[in-house]
Structures are given as C-alpha cells and as structure tokens.
Copies of this chain bind each other. A is one copy, B any other.
Amino acid sequence: MELDICFSPALYPFYRQKNDTVIVVDVFRASATLCAMLANGASAVISVADIEEAKRYKSRGYLVGAERNAQQCDFADFGNSPFDYTREKVAGKEVVFTTTNGTRAIDAAKKAKHLFVGTFSNIEALVQKTVEVAERVIILCAGWNNRASLEDTLFGGRFTEKLLEKIEASLESDAVKIALELWQSAKENPLDYLKNSEHYHRLIANGVENDAEYCLKENSVSVTPVYDKRSNKLIVSH
C-alpha cells in the first residue's frame, strides 16, 4: 500500500492520483462530530459546503448542524460539537452538516475512489476499513482556511503508525515523514501538545475545550463514515 498526506484542501490537486482512497480529517472537530452522528444512529449525513444551502435544507424541515469560525450558526439545530448529536436527537434521521473547513475538504475529494471520514475517535475502524479496500491512501487534512494545522497533521502521523502495525506501506512522501515526526514528539500526551495550537485557542475562546479532549480520545466509536456517490450522502461503511 502507498500512503500520502496532504496538508490542505488547496494542495489536493498536487497529491491525488487515480484510484485513491481519501481520508478526510478535521480533528477539531468536524470529523469526530460526523462520526458521532452516525454512531448515534443518524441514517445519513448530507455534507454541504455553503451556509445558504444549509438554510434551504432547514426550511424544508431537515435537522441541520452548521458552524462557522468555531461557533454554531443561529439558524441551525446543532453546532460542531460531538456532544450535540445525541441518539435521542439524531437516530433514524438525516442530518445536514456544514463546517468552516471539514465539509470543504469533503467536497474537494468527492471524486476519489473511496472517501472516508476519520479521526482519533474512529481510528481503529478506519484503519481496518482502509486495509481492506485501499491501494493508495491520502490523508486529506482539512486545516484552517486552507492553512496547515497541527492537529490534523498529527493525526496523519498517528494513522501512519497504526497502519504500519497492520500492513506494509510505502512512505516515500516527505509529508508523511513530517507527520510521523510530529506524532513521535506528541504521542506521550497529544492533548498537552495541542494546547499550543492555533485551533485549541479558538476552542477555548468559544468555551468548548471539553470537545478537544473528546476529539483526541481513540476509539470512542466504531463507525467509518463513507461518502456514497449515488446518494451524495455520508453513511456508515459496511
């Protein structure tokens, strides 16, 4: 298997190849939130990149999660906290979801052979699924407004480490080496390490630092969200 990591959606055109499996990661917080919805029984997630589209869904009666700049949008039912999406609220329902960075990254990679959403909360399920189906994998970091982010890069390193426990993989890419190096420095205590990151400061400013702890905890769920091209929705991969 071949593995690569792309630090920003804006760089994806320079990383993609035919037959790629793309894993979209937005550690703080869209990936964990999307995993939580599906783990709590949402039947599908409709990822939309812009606010106006989310509002149109809302007016048609859909449940809508919408976040910009780390805050819930006024019109929405939920924000971008994984704790918002309880089983009581989402089981059996479709949820429309738009966030500052995560849904943009999903949009960029919709033409990939497989598109998964992954993060620490579902890493075991994700690695297992990846090993089953992928020939070449790209971790696509959502970043922040197309800027590289510490937490997404870190996850790239952690994913690489986990993948190598299961399968031999080619690590030619400089980006993979950078991510692995970062993970080696952070792995003793990722939360502490990330307290210095740009986005952690944003989370604190918005009073949601508990989310950060959840977002870094491994294997709290066991679903792998996959993009279903036919329906244009994210569903649980089987």
Contact = CB atoms under 8 A, between A and B. Distances in A.
Contact of A15 (B147, B173, B178, B184): B147
Contact of A178 (B8, B145, B182, B199): B182
A11 B146 contact: yes
A148 interface: yes
Given A145-B14, A148-B7, A198 B182 contact: no
B146 A174 contact: no
A147 B148 CA distance: 13
A232 interface: no
Sort A-B residue pairs by CB-CB distance and give the 5 closest, nearest first. A150-B174, A14-B146, A148-B175, A174-B198, A149-B174
B172 A153 contact: no
Interface in A173-189: 173-175, 177-178, 181-182, 184-185
Contacts of A172: 198
Contacts of A153: 174, 178
A87 B147 CA distance: 41
A86 interface: no
Given A8-B14, A14-B146, A148-B178, 13 more contacts: A7-B7, A8-B11, A11-B146, A11-B147, A11-B148, A14-B145, A15-B147, A147-B174, A150-B177, A153-B178, A174-B198, A181-B181, A185-B185
B198 A173 contact: yes
8 contacts: A147-B175, A148-B174, A173-B198, A174-B197, A177-B196, A182-B182, A184-B185, A185-B185
Given A147-B175, A178-B148, A182-B181, A10 B10 contact: yes
Nearest to A184: B185
Nearest to A197: B174
A117 to B, nearest CB: 21
A220 B183 CA distance: 34
Interface in A13-53: 14-15
